[in-house]
Amino acid sequence: MRAAWLIWLGCALTGVGGCLTVRPTSFPPVPQRTEHLSSGVCLHVFDVNGDAKPDYAEEIDATGWVWALRYDDSGVGAWEETITRGASPPTRQLVLILDSVPFEMVCEARRQGRLALFHAPSRIIPPFPAMTDMSLNELLGTSPSPGLESDRYDGEKLHDGWSGYPKADNSPWLTEVDWYLPYRRHSRAYLNPARGFLAELADIERALADDGSLLAYAVGPSALGFIEGREGHLFVLAEIDRFCRMLVHRFRDDIAITLLSDHGHCLAESRMVPLRRILTRLGYRVSKHLRQPGDVVVAGFGLISCAALFTDSPERLAGDVVRAEGVELAMYRAGDEVIVLSRDGRARVTRCAAGWRYSAELGDPLQLGAIISRLHDGGAVDAEGCIDDSALFRATLDHVYPDPLDRCWRAFDGLMAHPPDVVLSLADGWHWGSPFINRHVSVRGTHGSLGRAGSIGFIMSTQGALPEAQRMREVPANLARIGVNLPRAAPATD
């Protein structure tokens, strides 16, 4: 295992030269001055070319929206051109996926005056497990992935994530993306995440100059959040704000920009659940194959807050492992039901004509009792106990488990070609994955679980407001309504 990691790391570093010193075109981090006009407009004045003279300004209305741009291109000390934003359809488009950026931190950035070029951010609810491949397959219509991660079991053998991940062998969504950092170079993003993220933005800037429409994916925000936690995402949002202002300034608002993340990030110090040791103590045999009763295949590569288990006895295994420290929920498919277990609870999830049934047989593992009671009083639950899907979605946006019934069901229905027999959702502050990686890093941010912090991503666009919240699979249609169409292109080449 150690040799495989070192080989991959060496390959990632080979030939990169000084690429990590590359940055996008600079834009001032703060205005040169701020003016408050009698009309109520706030004018942020910038020195973009660095000659100590103002040459560009943004007019900001009372809501914090940049509604006009001013230019002094000749340096005469007067605004020679004023552009009202949105006056004509843009000819360029950038859709930029920022891995792991949490919705709440974007809202905080907006309150502090950043990202004022955009309409208000909306929530994206990813599928469960809250993983990049699961989420972006849903966004781009490429589900299923072969498994939860590159380290996956296909019913016959356990595939090695160390060899599979650099080949992006679990990421069919990449065929629809114009620009991304090749996976074999992802290790450099984690070795120096700030410089790596700036290099990604510089590459995206160059790609956009050559093409009027670009769908790009940046892994750097995930690396920054994983290693630096909250501080890492603060850096991401500050740099993205400058990057987008630079593009709007350069193209004189002739560009539509949409930003989104694939899921959130639980920004907490995290420790490893010793899953293999727990299973061994419970009497199971951890193996690479299912050959006899008691065998369990445990997949695990990245350090994430969920886990995939394969077994011939899912009911027994789920009931045993859910009692382990750090495990919050265990679930498995049983015919036309998904069974969800907590340490002291058991419930059945089934489909019905208008939505879902949630039958809590013991306790309330998804903590939905009070919500369903309110929905019943409001007429959103019929006499047979069928809960209206859209009503439940809205009612659980701020719940400890957002949109839990759809997400628990979907984990076993179409996200993965080889779904696990048992899926674990870990408590905040716990993760599972490669023991080798775990020994060499301190985790300050992770994702994957059903929980809110690591689940809820964001989306915002310069082109118009989006619904308050949406499932990831609903995003393309919602973007199309404001004139943003997700581009389709061949995969990036190295």
How many other C-beta atoms lie within 10 A of the C-beta of residue 212?
14
% of the chain exceeding 70 in pLDDT: 94
pLDDT in tens, 134-163: 999 999 999 999 999 988 888 888 888 888
pLDDT value at 5 more than 60: no
- What is the DSSP secondary structure assignment for residue 48, as one 8-state letter? -
Return all residues near 348 (Cβ < 8 A) that are at least 6 apart. 337, 338, 339, 340, 357, 358, 359, 361
> Minimum mean pLDDT among 357-366, 451-460, 481-490: which range?
481-490
Give strand pairing partners of 360. Answer: 347
pLDDT value at 7 more than 90: no
Cα separation, 9 vs 176, whole angstroms:
27
Q: Considering the chain, what is the average pLDDT of its residues?
A: 91
241 band by pLDDT with thresholds 50, 70 and 90: very high
The pTM assigned to this predicted structure is: 0.93
pLDDT value at position 31?
A: 94
pLDDT value at position 189?
A: 77
pLDDT in tens, 178-192: 999 998 888 777 888
pLDDT value at position 184?
A: 83
pLDDT value at position 428?
A: 95
The CATH class of 91-262+453-481 is: alpha beta
- Going from N- to C-terminal start, the domains of the chain cover 33-84, 91-262+453-481, 271-440
Cα separation, 185 vs 165, whole angstroms:
11
487 band by pLDDT with thresholds 50, 70 and 90: low
Instruction: Assess contact for 21 and 195: CB atoms under 8 A.
Output: yes
User: What element of type H or E holds 227?
Assistant: helix 220-228
**Percent helix, strand and coil across the chain, each to the nearest 5:** 30, 25, 45
Q: Work out the average pLDDT over 46-51.
A: 94
* Higher local confidence (pLDDT), 272 or 41: 272
pLDDT value at position 11?
A: 45
pLDDT value at 426 more than 60: yes
Return all residues near 344 (Cβ < 8 A) that are at least 6 apart. 362, 363
Q: Work out the average pLDDT over 437-449.
A: 88
pLDDT in tens, 287-307: 999 999 999 999 988 899 999
Cα separation, 383 vs 150, whole angstroms:
44
pLDDT value at position 211?
A: 64
37 band by pLDDT with thresholds 50, 70 and 90: confident
Instruction: Assess contact for 232 and 392: CB atoms under 8 A.
Output: no
- DSSP annotation string for 130-160: --HHHHHHHHHT-PPBSSSSSS-B-SS-B--
Give strand pairing partners of 285. Answer: 295
What's the distance, CA 143 to chain centroid?
16
Q: Work out the average pLDDT over 228-235.
A: 96
DSSP-derived pairing of the beta strands 93-98 and 256-260: parallel
* Higher local confidence (pLDDT), 342 or 168: 342
pLDDT value at 209 more than 50: yes
* Higher local confidence (pLDDT), 306 or 6: 306
> Minimum mean pLDDT among 38-52, 108-122, 277-291, 364-378: which range?
38-52
- Tell me the HSE value of 90 on the side-chain side, using a 13 A CA sphere: 27
3 band by pLDDT with thresholds 50, 70 and 90: very low
pLDDT value at 16 more than 60: no
Instruction: Assess contact for 124 and 459: CB atoms under 8 A.
Output: yes
Instruction: Assess contact for 255 and 217: CB atoms under 8 A.
Output: no
pLDDT value at position 12?
A: 43
Cα separation, 57 vs 296, whole angstroms:
62
